[in-house]
């Protein structure tokens, strides 16, 4: 069965929002998709009738199993294309998201599987997020953010939570990417900032907001 780009966007968005909250609200969807609540209601009715979501008026929405599969498939495509854009075409990782938003809606199994093989069946995208396989399975890595990681020991940056281009710009400035080695030297209770060593450069300070969005493996 085929789904429109718009349907796929709603499904993907519900999937991501479900990570934090059990049931997803109309307003949450409207603000992340940048549309009006009325439009969301319309689309939820449509997705409901296609049995891709369980939607209860005034209550909230959840993905069905079918909806979940579709979400994982779109996410798989998105992340494979991001990997391709960065590692094959040499894009800056701060710029790939927008292009991948278009590429992810092209549905051709042979295309995606060949792309996957060409990229070496990688399991992690350029932002450190796991890439689901054909069946929607993916590995989760045990990781903690810089404000929770043990001090005075090198940890390895494994993913970025807030992936806004503003955030990625700042990380570029710090020279932090996936794989960078970081050691937390001190934490300041006053504002939650942290003094860190990035690779072998001199010490710097990152704000609490940054520390809470950079995830590492120990």
Partner DNA sequence: TATTTTTTTTAGATTTGTCTAAATATTTGT
Partner DNA sequence: ACAAATATTTAGACAAATCTAAAAAAAATA
Contacts with its own copies by CB under 8 A lie at 85, 88-91, 95, 98-99, 102-103, 106, 108, 110-111, 114-115, 118
**137 is a contact residue toward DNA (CB under 7 A):** no
Considering only residues 42, 148, 169, 191, which one is a binding residue for DNA as defined by CB under 7 A? Answer: 42
**Scanning the structure block, which residue is given the tokens 């009325």?**
38
In whole angstroms, the minimum distance from the beta carbon of 62 to DNA comes to 13
The tokens for 186 are 């001190």
E-assigned strands of 36-161?
53-56, 60-63, 144-145, 154-160
Contact segment (CB under 7 A) with DNA among 33-41, 79-87, 101-109, 173-181 equals: 33-41
Give the residue with the Cβ less far from its own copies, 115 or 141: 115
List the single partner that 44 binds among its own copies, DNA, none, CB under 5 to 8 Å by kind. DNA
Distance CA(195)–CA(129), nearest Å, equals 26
Three-state SS at 61: strand
Distance of CA 95 to the CA centre of its chain: 14
Three-state SS at 45: helix
Distance CA(57)–CA(37), nearest Å, equals 13
**38 is a contact residue toward DNA (CB under 7 A):** yes
List the single partner that 95 binds among DNA, its own copies, none, CB under 5 to 8 Å by kind. its own copies
> What are the residues binding DNA (CB under 7 A)?
4, 6-7, 25-28, 35-46, 55, 57-60
């Amino acid at each position: 069965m085929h789904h429109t780009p718009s349907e796929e966007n709603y499904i993907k968005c519900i999937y991501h929002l479900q990570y934090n909250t059990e049931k997803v609200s109309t307003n949450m969807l409207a603000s992340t998709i940048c549309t009006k609540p009325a439009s969301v209601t319309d689309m939820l009715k449509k997705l409901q009738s296609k049995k891709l979501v369980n939607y209860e008026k005034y209550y909230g929405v959840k993905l069905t199993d079918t909806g979940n599969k579709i979400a994982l498939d779109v996410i798989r495509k998105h992340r494979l294309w991001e990997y391709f854009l960065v590692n094959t075409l040499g894009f800056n990782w701060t710029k790939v998201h927008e292009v991948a938003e278009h590429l992810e809606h092209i549905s051709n199994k042979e295309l995606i599987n060949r792309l996957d093989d060409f990229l070496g069946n990688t399991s992690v995208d350029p932002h450190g997020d796991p890439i689901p396989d054909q069946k929607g399975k993916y590995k989760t890595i045990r990781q903690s953010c810089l404000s929770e990681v043990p001090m005075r020991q090198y940890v390895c940056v494994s993913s970025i939570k807030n992936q806004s281009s503003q955030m990625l710009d700042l990380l570029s400035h710090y020279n932090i990417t996936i794989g960078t080695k970081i050691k937390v030297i001190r934490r300041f209770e006053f504002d939650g900032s942290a003094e860190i060593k990035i690779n072998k450069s001199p010490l710097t300070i990152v704000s609490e907001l940054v520390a809470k969005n950079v995830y590492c493996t120990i």
